[in-house]
Amino acid sequence: MRLFLDTANFKEVRHGVELGVISGVTTNPTLVAKEGHPDFKAAVREICGLVDGPVSAEVLSLDRQGMMREAREVAGWAPNVVVKLPITADGLAATSVLSREGIKINLTLCFSANQALLAALAGATFVSPFVGRLDDAGHDGMAIVADIAQVFARCHYTTQVLAASIRHPLHCVVAAKAGADVATIPYKVLMQMIQHPLTDIGIARFLEDWRKVYEREEVKTL
């Protein structure tokens, strides 16, 4: 399973890429608005330049024609851009046309295995089940990721399962076990994944033990 960052913050993307563990980025209108980017196109192009892998940028139109118009424009902004559309009847219809034109689509706001199945049939490159929001609504978000992964494997669909709305590190492990191709995670979760108190305690003890023997005054003067 690969990891993408779910953010529109340049600094976070830079750091994630520098760590060598982030191979793509997903954004949504909420994340872009949170950063207050004055120019959406410029922001998407900047992020596309920071990471080699796919960068999802969401359109705002809700009708098929509007989605296709916006998607064709966004697709021209950078070679690694992926257009994000909601899974609706219009979103599916737009995806089936755009995917045949070679435009990569991430069908988002997926809350069921049936929606994911339709996304695959329409030719989406990614489908994004929203795990945290399913959990919030009293469902088992990860069970739906597992169902989708099973259906896709069984039916030999090439659409990639992109687990989204990830809220904590455990979600990442479970997504990987469930068969997700990608988990897109907030920067905070990436930092939480790195941390372990026993790692910090272990580092402190190694240094302390070393210093006790090799950094005593008399040893230093030898």
Active site residues per annotation: 84
Is 35 or 97 the residue whose CB approaches ligand G3P more closely? 35
Tell which one of 4, 40, 126, 130 touches ligand G3P (CB under 6 A).
130
We find the least distance from the C-beta atom of residue 31 to ligand G3P, in angstroms, to be 7
φ, ψ dihedrals at 24, nearest 5°: 180, 175
* Residue 53 in contact with ligand G3P, rule: CB under 6 A: no
Range in contact with ligand G3P (rule: CB under 6 A) among 36-44, 130-138, 152-160, 206-214: 130-138
- Residue 93 CB, nearest approach to ligand G3P (Å): 22
Would you list the DSSP string of 44-94?
HHHHHHH-SS-EEEE----SHHHHHHHHHHHHTS-TTEEEEEESSHHHHHH
Report the alpha-carbon distance of residue 176 to residue 155 in Å, rounded.
20
Interacting positions 183-202 with ligand G3P (CB under 6 A): 184
By CB under 6 A, residue 165 contacts ligand G3P: yes
Task: Return the residue of 28, 115, 159, 160 that touches ligand G3P, per CB under 6 A.
Answer: 28
Measured in degrees and rounded to the nearest 5, phi and psi for residue 125 equal -75, -40
Give dist(CA 200, CA 68) in Å, integer: 50
Residue closest to ligand G3P (Cβ): 165
Q: Is 164 in the site for ligand G3P (CB under 6 A)?
A: yes
Residue 60 CB contacts under 8 Å (≥ 6 apart), including other chains: 29, 70
DSSP per-residue letters across 94-140: HHHHHHHTT--EEEEEE-SHHHHHHHHHHT-SEEEEBHHHHHHTTS-
Our CB check for ligand G3P shows the closer of 115 and 165 to be: 165
Residue from 15, 41, 45, 133 touching ligand G3P (CB under 6 A): that is 133
Q: Is 7 in the site for ligand G3P (CB under 6 A)?
A: no
Q: Which is nearer to ligand G3P, 133 or 139 (CB)?
A: 133
Cα separation, 138 vs 105, whole angstroms? 29
- Residues forming beta bridges with residue 55, ordered by sequence position: 25, 81
- The site for ligand G3P (CB under 6 A) is made up of 6, 26, 28, 130, 132-133, 164-165, 184
